């Protein structure tokens, strides 16, 4: 007998909620999108032993994840919704298939999981994504479309920036679907998109993860400048004591380019050089 998925509208009715854009609550109600999200993980052989969902809401995606995963953990910051999930999925909770954690995904202790499939709250999507990426598990995450395009962009793309470099440091990133506002209730003012990441070890190393991220942030504040000028002009952001020493030691051709054409591996090489000769504050 085919399992019947829970209806998202019925779930919201039972929960007695309507969503609040001011609190970043936009419930995904399109059955077709909901049905596809777990498939983006399973179709590439993603491990469904223990799947993490951040922002469970009223449980429409939770329901579908429970159908494919051995175990699901949901983190939900809204106390009322966390309580509803425990009631609605009482059987799954009792059987140990589902665990509901009430808390903020940026502060809660994350369990050891094999993957995450989540419709992220837009206001915290960046921080949550970069909390998940270093864990080295496959991710299927819903973002604001503009943010997703920036994460998936490659060198030379208009959207390429520090988010692209940082995300690709941890994984191969693929935009697999765009989602219109009509798929949500209440509707957001922007389109959404689904990213799938495949974790991998980078072919390069960086001396310090925090400095790498800070250095990228500094350089991309002056993405229209040459790398030479960007390094020199942003020492107050990067924390470098001697930007000139970095420029002098770096490859001249690289210093003549702009950040939007520099690959993640080249950024990593420049970060190592900056760490060695620029005397950053974080050392």
CA atoms within 13 A on the CB side of 99: 14
Is 37 annotated as belonging to a binding site? no
CA 124 to chain centre: 9
Q: Name the residue among 93, 28, 186, 148 with its Cα closest to residue 101.
A: 93
Is 236 annotated as belonging to a binding site? no
The CATH code of domain 209-277 reads: 1.10.8
Bridge-partner residues for 178, per DSSP?
193
Is 28 annotated as belonging to a binding site? yes
Is 76 annotated as belonging to a binding site? yes
Helices 79-88 & 8-15, crossing angle to 10 degrees? Answer: 120
Domain range list for the chain: 8-199, 209-277
Is 55 annotated as belonging to a binding site? yes
Q: How wide is the angle at C-alpha 201 spanned by C-alphas 198 and 207, nearest 5°?
A: 135
Considering the entire predicted model, what is its pTM? 0.90
Domain 8-199 grouped into CATH 3.50.50.60? no
**How does pLDDT run along the chain (283 residues), one tens digit per residue?**
467 899 999 999 999 998 888 777 889 999 999 999 999 999 999 999 999 999 999 999 999 999 999 999 999 999 999 999 999 999 999 999 999 999 999 999 999 999 999 999 888 999 999 999 999 999 999 999 999 999 999 999 999 999 999 999 899 999 999 999 999 999 999 999 999 999 998 888 899 988 998 999 999 999 999 999 999 999 999 999 999 999 999 999 999 999 999 999 999 999 999 999 987 876 6
């Amino acid at each position: 007998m085919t399992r019947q998925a829970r209806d998202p509208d019925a779930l919201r009715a039972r929960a007695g909620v309507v969503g609040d854009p001011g609190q970043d609550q936009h419930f995904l109600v399109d059955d077709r999108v909901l049905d596809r999200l777990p498939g983006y993980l399973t179709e590439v052989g993603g491990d469904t032993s223990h799947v993490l969902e951040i922002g469970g809401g009223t449980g429409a995606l939770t329901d579908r994840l429970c159908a494919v995963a051995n175990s699901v953990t949901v983190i939900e910051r809204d106390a009322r919704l966390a309580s509803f999930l425990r009631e609605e999925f009482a059987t799954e909770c009792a059987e140990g298939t589902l665990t509901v954690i009430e808390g903020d995904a940026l502060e809660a202790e994350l369990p050891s999981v094999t993957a995450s499939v989540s419709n992220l709250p837009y206001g915290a999507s960046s921080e949550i994504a970069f909390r998940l990426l270093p864990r080295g598990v496959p991710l299927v995450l819903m973002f604001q479309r503009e943010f997703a395009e920036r994460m998936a962009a490659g060198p030379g793309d208009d959207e390429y920036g520090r988010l692209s470099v940082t995300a690709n440091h941890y994984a191969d990133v693929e935009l697999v679907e765009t989602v219109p506002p009509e798929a949500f209730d209440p509707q957001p003012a922007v389109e959404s998109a689904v990213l799938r990441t495949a974790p991998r070890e980078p072919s390069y190393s960086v001396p310090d993860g925090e400095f790498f991220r800070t250095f990228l942030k500094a350089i991309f504040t002056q993405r229209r400048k040459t790398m030479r000028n960007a390094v020199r002009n942003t020492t107050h952001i990067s924390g470098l004591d001697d930007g000139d020493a970095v420029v002098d030691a770096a490859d001249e051709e690289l210093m003549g380019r702009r950040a939007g054409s520099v690959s993640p591996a080249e950024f990593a090489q420049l970060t190592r050089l900056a760490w060695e000769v620029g005397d950053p504050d974080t050392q």
